[in-house]
């Protein structure tokens, strides 16, 4: 999706040796985390297995059956062997289906065990056959997306990314369709505030959410069907985005694959830094989630922009680059390809800083140079929006211009009323008009624009890369988990032994079985 763009590497004069060193150090920093993730499982990974096998629904209290069943297994046998062996051993013994077994387990009328020998082999094989149905659905959805793109057409890049979320899925749908008709190519339905901290996925259609709409399988299906109608109407495929983050990251990734979402916000450290979710659990969950995204053909969006809401965008610029390199390593290890890496950065330098636009351009060009084949996603100004709508509209225009100059792949629409209130529909229309005007007027300006190799922009880009390499050297020596504990990213200190969800992490025992691995691991460790 990168299209035709000028390669900024020669004009920035980035040393090939330094770029290679940065990636080697990112791999050295990330490899111990991957090793740790492979040796552990989490309660949400185990629930995701049951979702792949088709277990849906919730009890009268709204607690999903996957939670009820996994909790029952955990209480009786622990989860060190995984949920598959005890559950499918019980299914083979009783002849029940998953839903009935979950109901009985919730009432305490099922006894689970860890089978051994031939019984373990039979349970493992039965679990693989069950989750195969879920993967068949995910594969069919990927093929369906490809057919829709071929039939309706792919919008030209950059894709215009617009947020819709009223709290009511039935209000979101007409707003999303209207946004697509007004020019949006990607519709992001942001989640209700605090959902990332729920250790279960709400069930069914929801009509009440705060500053967002709950991410549920039913809501995913409703919005996907509505945007399919709009894609047919407009003659271009409209993409749907949600959030695979928080305590239920693996489960939401599975639901996204089952309901054909196209993009998911999935950053390796966001939940750690900004939701105080345990670092160990987050890294385990994000690896499984990204393996699902790789299989489903989903583009991930990473969250480096969030660092600059708490740290200074100039002083902390190198931490964004380091995070991008780490996100790239973790993503490719999980099987994702370059076209699926919507790596993040943000237009968050204080406009009062001299040469602020030149600095923004330097950082954007560095990201483009380091990741030439990735559909970078740049976030609009938020931190320094003051409520002056005219200034805000102008800042968003500069943001869009920087995106045009650097060939951004995904551009989030900046609202002039950011930091004032939830935008009016008229604000959204004006914001879309700003994007359309700048990109139409700029045209292929990125093909003509050349920064002087010894000038301010190129010098700044090389400086940030050098700082990034120095930081990666420290991280590789001290470990990534220690760097996070010290507040390296976003000024947030998150020790590895603290944070929400720590009690949901389990060291795998010998003989651990996860039937999803038969479909996922062959695409990982690239």
| Kind plus residue range of the DSSP H or E element containing 301 | strand 299-301
Annotated catalytic residue, options 243, 270, 329, 512: 270
Residue with tokens 């990168």: 2
DSSP states along 476-493: HHH-HHHHHHTTTTTT--
Catalytic pick from 89, 172, 285, 305? Answer: 305
Which one-letter DSSP state was computed for residue 269? S
Please state, in angstroms and rounded to a whole number, the distance separating the CA atoms of residues 323 and 331.
Answer: 12
To the query of whether residue 38 is one of the catalytic residues in this protein, the response is: no
What does the alpha-carbon distance between residue 291 and residue 225 come to, in Å, rounded to a whole number?
25
104 catalytic residue (yes or no): no
**Residues 483, 489: Cα–Cα separation, whole Å:** 8
279: its two tokens: 């670092």
As beta bridge partners, residue 265 has 243, 301
Q: What is the SS3 assignment for 319?
A: helix
User: 265 CB contacts (<8 Å, ≥6 apart)?
Assistant: 188, 241, 242, 243, 244, 245, 300, 301, 302, 303
Query: Which one from 172, 377, 393, 427 is the annotated catalytic residue?
Result: 377
What DSSP element (H or E) covers 20? helix 16-39
Distances (CA, A) of 74 to 86, 112, 130, 503: 10, 10, 21, 12
Catalytic, 270? Answer yes
Active site residues: 270, 305, 377
């Amino acid at each position: 999706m990168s299209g035709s763009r000028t390669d900024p590497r020669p004009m920035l004069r980035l040393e090939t040796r330094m770029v290679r060193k940065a990636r080697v150090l990112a791999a050295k920093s990330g490899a111990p985390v991957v090793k740790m993730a492979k040796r552990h499982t989490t309660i949400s990974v185990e629930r995701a297995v049951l979702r792949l096998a088709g277990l849906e629904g919730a009890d009268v209290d709204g607690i999903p059956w996957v939670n009820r069943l996994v909790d029952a297994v955990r209480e009786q046998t622990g989860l060190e062997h995984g949920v598959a062996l005890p559950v499918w051993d019980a299914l083979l013994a009783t002849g029940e289906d998953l839903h009935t077994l979950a109901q009985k387990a919730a009432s305490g009328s099922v006894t689970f065990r860890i089978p051994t020998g031939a019984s373990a082999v039979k349970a493992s094989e039965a679990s693989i056959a069950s989750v195969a149905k879920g993967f068949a659905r995910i594969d069919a959805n990927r093929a369906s997306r490809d057919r829709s793109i071929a039939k309706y057409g792919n919008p030209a890049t950059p894709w215009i990314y617009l947020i819709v979320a009223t709290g009511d899925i039935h209000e979101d749908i007409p707003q999303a369709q209207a946004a697509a008709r007004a020019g949006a190519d990607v519709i992001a339905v942001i989640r209700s505030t605090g959902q990332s901290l729920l250790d279960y996925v709400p069930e069914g259609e929801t009509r009440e959410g705060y500053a967002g709409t709950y991410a549920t399988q039913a809501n995913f299906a409703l919005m996907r069907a509505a945007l399919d109608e709009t894609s047919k109407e407009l003659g271009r495929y409209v993409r749907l985005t949600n959030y695979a983050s928080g305590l239920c990251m693996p489960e939401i990734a599975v639901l996204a694959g089952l309901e054909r979402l196209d993009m998911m916000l999935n950053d390796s450290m966001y939940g750690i830094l900004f939701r105080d979710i345990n670092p160990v659990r987050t890294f385990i969950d994000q690896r499984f989630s990204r393996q699902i995204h790789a299989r489903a053909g989903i583009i991930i969006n990473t969250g480096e922009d969030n660092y600059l809401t708490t740290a200074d965008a100039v002083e902390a610029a190198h931490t964004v680059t380091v995070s991008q390199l780490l996100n790239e390593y973790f993503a490719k290890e999980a099987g994702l390809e370059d076209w699926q890496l919507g790596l993040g950065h943000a237009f968050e330098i204080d406009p009062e800083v001299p040469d602020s636009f030149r600095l923004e351009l330097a950082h954007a060009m560095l990201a483009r140079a380091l990741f030439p084949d990735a559909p970078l996603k740049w976030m609009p100004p938020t931190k320094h929006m003051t409520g002056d709508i005219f200034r805000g509209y102008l800042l968003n225009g500069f943001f869009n211009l920087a995106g045009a100059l650097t060939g951004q792949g995904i551009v989030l629409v900046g609202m002039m009323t950011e930091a004032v209130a939830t935008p009016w529909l008229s604000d959204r229309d004006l914001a879309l008009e700003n994007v359309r005007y700048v990109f139409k007027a700029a045209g292929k300006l990125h093909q003509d624009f050349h920064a002087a190799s010894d000038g301010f922009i190129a010098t700044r880009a090389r400086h940030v890369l050098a700082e990034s390499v120095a930081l990666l050297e420290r991280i590789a020596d001290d470990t990534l988990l220690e760097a996070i504990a010290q507040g390296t990213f976003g000024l947030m200190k998150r020790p590895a032994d603290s944070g929400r969800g720590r009690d949901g992490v389990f060291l795998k025992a010998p003989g651990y079985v996860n039937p999803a691995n038969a479909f996922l691991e062959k695409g990982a460790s690239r």
